[in-house]
Chain A
């Protein structure tokens, strides 16, 4: 039986958050740069290795279990970086042909660059987390599309459909969502943190009921 944090713990945490928020508001640029540096370090030290591991240990085995139709076999092989899985023709049909499609593990440079920008511009707002969620969701969508293409034996129609998803849909999220987040952040008052982080002021940062940001995803 665990005990819920009592009012003292809650008040202590609230005070710490309020102090941190006030500090960020006093020096938003410096905190923004610091957070961006931390994010860059987390990307290089954690996220990128995790993506390599996830590609090899999770995505590749899942795709290997997808059965291709007879006569159109395609093998799934990892790319050089370990962050890309390629569908390559195999068997008696077009042996050794070039890759017909590739799936890139989400959370790569197209996430990192806008995330660094957002965190530097709005250090007190977790906009980059929305972006990360969107990239993760988009990764699932493109993974499902890639698996479907594999299941269909990469027919011309399947290849075209995956090209569309992997190019235009991905770019829409890669660039469109950061722009919307940036504009929304600016509309809320530049680099100032939300009043919720400052202490006694009204907590207007909470998302109202019924409003949500769908999360989607990205490229290496």
Chain B
């Protein structure tokens, strides 16, 4: 079943959104009510993102330092990769659609890990870009931090979902009817690193 067919049938459309909703409900119970309060997964992922951000910048800039969740570039205050800013939220968003949209199980098993890698890599690049902006153009940091996460993750996840629709192996049918994001910030020299967030209010 492809997108035109999903959109052409009220039942199919509701079924699609119910599947996505069910996937997110499972994730919500698992993450928001258990893993997030526990903190270990977010802490680990935030440390990984911070370390990879430093790795990305190290060949191009001197004075890149990482300490846990905090990454600094030269004399800049640095950024903190907080919970909710480490890319976990976009990862769950991406997986929900792939589970709900028709496709073969085998391709799904290949596509989800590949997509997770892409989203994670994009988040690392986003953190690196924000750190450079903070060091080179401090005045641009807040607007960039406020809006870029939303735009960037929307574009990336949109592209990945469209890719899944084409690569997932769903049976294509002729269209009979028309229809029809977040995480990193700056840190003070001491311990007042500014938390990074990705979603615009």
Interface residues of B in 1-28 (CB under 8 A from A): 2-4, 6-10, 13-14, 16-17, 20-21, 24-25, 27-28
CB within 8 Å: A-B pair count? 125
Shortest A58–chain B CB gap in Å is 20
Give the size category of A's interface with B: 35 or more
Q: Is B116 an interface residue (CB 8 A)?
A: no
A175 and B175 contact, Cβ closer than 8 Å, known pairs A183-B3, A187-B4: no
Q: Is B179 an interface residue (CB 8 A)?
A: yes
The interface residues of chain B lying within 8 Å CB-to-CB of A110 are: 150, 154
The interface residues of chain A lying within 8 Å CB-to-CB of B93 are: 171, 175
Nearest B-chain residue to A81, judged by Cβ: B201
CA distance A145 to B181 in the complex (A): 23
- CB pair B28 A188 closer than 8 Å: no
- CB pair B33 A127 closer than 8 Å: no
Q: Is A181 an interface residue (CB 8 A)?
A: yes
The interface residues of chain B lying within 8 Å CB-to-CB of A169 are: 21, 24
17 additional contacts (CB under 8 A) given A84-B201, A113-B154: A83-B201, A114-B154, A114-B158, A127-B179, A160-B32, A167-B89, A172-B24, A174-B154, A175-B158, A179-B161, A183-B165, A184-B3, A184-B180, A187-B2, A212-B10, A213-B13, A219-B199
Pairs across A and B, CB under 8 Å, 11 listed = A168-B21, A175-B93, A175-B97, A175-B161, A176-B20, A183-B4, A184-B7, A188-B4, A188-B178, A207-B178, A213-B179
Contacts from B to A (Cβ < 8 Å): 2-4, 6-10, 13-14, 16-17, 20-21, 24-25, 27-28, 32-33, 89, 93, 96-97, 100, 147, 150-151, 154, 157-158, 161-162, 165, 172, 174-180, 199-201
